[in-house]
Chains A and B, each alone.
Chain A
Amino acid sequence: MEDQQNTENIFNLTLDQEAKSFLKTIAVWAKIIAIIAFVEVGLSLVNAFIGKESAAVIIGSIFAAMIGGLISVLLNVFLYRFAKKVGDGIASSNQQLFNEGVNSLRNYFKIYGIILIIGLSLILIGVFFVVIIAGIGAAGTN
């Protein structure tokens, strides 16, 4: 019932000048953030080689940089797409571009949320194993 009411009234909301101005600023900052993130991925890969002496440390650093880089690129591609499409959509009054841009923002926060869930789950699993190992260690000494 409420959904139907929302759908019926959906076009009451428009993108007035104020909303457009906010969205333009958001797009500019989102683009800056995404570009810096892409550069940081490259730098972290370069940094993985610098100052490491053993091959094992270099391989470990590269592996860590690649995992972090992959996640960062995956996230920021959507942020960049949002910035580009919403910016262009507003500039040319192109509804299709604007819709695709908003869809990219949804995907950005969705992937962010999923990565957060995975990260927290891994931390919880890690804490669980540490507690179990500590418990076994304590039982062994008694």
Chain B
Amino acid sequence: MDQQHPGESLLDLELDPLTSRSLRETTRWTKFIAIVYAIILGILLLLGIFGGANFADGVTSALEDYKFPFASIVGSALLLILFVAVAIGSVLLFFLFKFSAQTKAGLDRQEQTQFNGGLKSLRNYFIIYGVIVILNFCLGLAVIAITFFTLNA
């Protein structure tokens, strides 16, 4: 016969007051994080738009002094990476903010659809964040491997 473990319920899982309170606090922090990062991304975007050309020229001329191959495209490539990072970051923040807003609204109005919508946004946030973490990890491994082999060559 199956033993019932502590906390194990014969009924389905529910959002009791304790979980509800934890989720409310989570949404407050996620909203704060999303807003702060949105401001940071906005500043980066403005810097990229208004100072990007000067930055790209500066990087190009500095690298040309060292006779760096492909010096002419490095500055522009860095600027492109900045814009792509801002775009990806914006999508990530959009889902985090949507999670905050929908989950809070779902809890306040006791609406299952909105609550589930919030969880869906959190799922999307974690999927995108996870893919970025995996890519970053692979890139880091490649850098370590290149450094190691360069030193041993």
Mark B14-58 against chain A: 1 for CB-CB distance below 8 A, else 0. 111111101101100110110010000000000000000000000
A102 touches B19 (CB 8 A): yes
6 contacts between A and B (CB under 8 A): A22-B119, A92-B5, A93-B12, A95-B9, A96-B6, A106-B23
Determine the chain A residues whose CB is within 8 A of the CB of B144 once the complex forms: 43, 46-47, 50
Does A77 lie at the interface of the complex (its beta carbon under 8 Å from any beta carbon of B)? no
**Selected contact of A90 from candidates B13, B108, B151, CB within 8 Å:** B13
Does B65 lie at the interface of the complex (its beta carbon under 8 Å from any beta carbon of A)? no
Q: Apart from A11-B15, A22-B123, what 9 extra A-B contacts exist at CB < 8 Å?
A: A13-B115, A14-B12, A25-B127, A36-B137, A93-B11, A102-B23, A106-B25, A109-B29, A120-B36
Least Cβ–Cβ distance between A85 and chain B, in angstroms? 11
**Selected contact of B112 from candidates A6, A13, A29, A109, CB within 8 Å:** A13
Q: Using a Cβ cutoff of 8 Å, how many contacts connect chains A and B?
A: 146
A32 touches B19 (CB 8 A): no
**Selected contact of A29 from candidates B5, B23, B127, B147, CB within 8 Å:** B127
B130 touches A43 (CB 8 A): no
Give the 9 A-B CB pairs with smallest separation, nearest first.
Answer: A96-B7, A22-B119, A29-B126, A12-B110, A109-B29, A29-B130, A15-B13, A106-B22, A106-B26
Stretch of A54-62, A63-71, A110-118, A130-138 with 4 or more beta carbons under 8 angstroms from chain B: A110-118
Determine the chain B residues whose CB is within 8 A of the CB of A47 once the complex forms: 144, 147
- Bound complex: CA A31 to CA B59 (Å): 39
Does B92 lie at the interface of the complex (its beta carbon under 8 Å from any beta carbon of A)? no
Does B107 lie at the interface of the complex (its beta carbon under 8 Å from any beta carbon of A)? yes
Count the A residues whose beta carbon is within 8 Å of the partner chain — how many?
51
**B interface, size bucket:** 35 or more
Does B133 lie at the interface of the complex (its beta carbon under 8 Å from any beta carbon of A)? yes
Please judge, given known A-B contacts A13-B106, A47-B144, A120-B36, whether A109 and B26 are in contact too, CB under 8 Å.
Answer: yes
Output the nearest chain B residue to A79 by Cβ-Cβ distance: B126
B33 touches A113 (CB 8 A): yes
- Bound complex: CA A117 to CA B123 (Å): 25
- Bound complex: CA A59 to CA B15 (Å): 49
**Selected contact of A32 from candidates B32, B110, B130, B141, CB within 8 Å:** B130
Least Cβ–Cβ distance between A6 and chain B, in angstroms? 7
**Selected contact of B33 from candidates A14, A20, A23, A109, CB within 8 Å:** A109
- Bound complex: CA A80 to CA B129 (Å): 15
- Bound complex: CA A103 to CA B25 (Å): 9
Determine the chain B residues whose CB is within 8 A of the CB of A18 once the complex forms: 116
Please judge, given known A-B contacts A29-B127, A105-B26, whether A10 and B16 are in contact too, CB under 8 Å.
Answer: yes
Mark A1-38 against chain B: 1 for CB-CB distance below 8 A, else 0. 01000110111111110111011011001101100110
